Amino acid sequence: MTDKMEIGIISFTQAGGLLAEKIASLLMAEEGSAYKIEKICLLGRSRTDGSSGAACKKEQEDSLTLSGVTQAFWHKEVLLFIGACGIAVRAIAPHLKDKYTDPAVLVMDERAHFVIPLLSGHIGGANAFGKKLAQVSGSSLVLTTATDVNDTFAVDVFAKEKKLCIYDREQLKRFSAALLEGTECGILFTNRKSEADNARPYEHTAVLLPRNLYLGIGCRRGKGFAELSEFVKETTARYDLCEESIAAIASIDLKKEEKGILKLAESLQSAVCFYSAEQLREIEGSFSSSEFVSQITGVDNVCERAAFLASGRGRCLVARQAKDGMTIAVYEKQCEVTDLPEEICYQNSTGLRILCHESA
């Protein structure tokens, strides 16, 4: 079950507050299980929380200033302002960082004639959410992002949809500009560090990293995050692998409470999965073997078997590496990237299958 999208609807007038109630009801009726909506009326000093269609009201001493926006900005995925664009811009201006961390911000006039994505249209999903709002409310959607108004390929949207990491954000800006201007450009798919840093097969190259590496770990009890992290950095550097491509960390379930492993997964923004000794033993294949490890865990090898299982029986890139009571192995999963427009050039040096489609 996926987490609900956290949405804040902010209004400043009585009419805006009524529209906020209506929009929240429409969204919850359309897709209530996907949203958690909080309605904040700054001028009226009241706040209503709604989750899964159930409303729970409480009084809130919001000041007449815009200070009430701050918490919403940092804790919501989407902010919808009902009112003037200028008010929304002034409210969020002190908090802006970049499109990779800022929430999606949209504005709707209090008559619901127009809905305008202001911030994080692509990466944050403001454009996509704007389409949903227009659909349920009957508002006209106003898009200003260049790729949308010119009906061209948006590489940042593509990367988000396909769960690819953008390696160089400045490079991505140049790629998008070149695409709009008709200059030669293309995509390099890789999980190799040297290629990500240096390979530029096109005049303007966007480097996208698939998250298809699976890191198997074994360690003595109590191994700290710092040691584990340093060992991972050493190993990925030695084998020319991008840390950003690590999709998951895998180990035996005896290690599921190890704080070092859990913090490592958090730092890499990776999933973490644990398997029983029986699950690891049942895997057929060629793996390193240790009698000592077998006596302790009940299986002759943890890191390779766990990475192999987590990767869907992928390809071994790094066989068992050992250091100071830690072991690491890396497996690469074969996976697909679909729906790349056929007019977009690309090179692929990793375990990906690229499937293109014809543009309309």
The CA distance from 204 to 175, in Å, is 5
Q: Which amino acid is at 106?
A: L
- What is the pLDDT at residue 196? 93
Q: Domains (ranges, CATH) in the chain?
A: 5-144 (3.40.50.11220), 157-210+349-357 (no CATH), 213-332 (3.30.420.180)
DSSP letters along 86-130, please? HHHHHHHGGG---TTTSPEEEEE-TTSSEEEEEE-SSSS-HHHHH
Instruction: Compute the C-alpha angle 74/79/83, nearest 5°.
Output: 130
pLDDT at 89 over 70: yes
Q: Does 153 or 242 have the greater pLDDT score?
A: 242
At 206-252, the pLDDT tens digits run 999 999 999 999 999 999 999 999 999 999 999 999 999 999 999 99
- What is the pLDDT at residue 244? 96
Mean pLDDT of the chain: 87
The CA distance from 289 to 299, in Å, is 9
Report CA 264 to chain centroid distance, whole Å: 17
pLDDT at 61 over 50: no
Can you read off the two tokens belonging to residue 35?
């949203």
- For the chain, counts of helices (H) and of strands (E): 13, 19
- What is the pLDDT at residue 257? 94
- What is the pLDDT at residue 152? 84
Q: Does 133 or 147 have the greater pLDDT score?
A: 133
- What is the pLDDT at residue 53? 37
The CA distance from 200 to 189, in Å, is 11
- What is the pLDDT at residue 74? 86
- What is the pLDDT at residue 64? 38
DSSP letters along 205-255, please? EEEEEE--EEEEEEE-TT--HHHHHHHHHHHHHHTTB-GGGEEEEEEEGGG
- What is the pLDDT at residue 150? 86
The confidence band for 294, taking pLDDT boundaries of 50, 70 and 90, is: confident
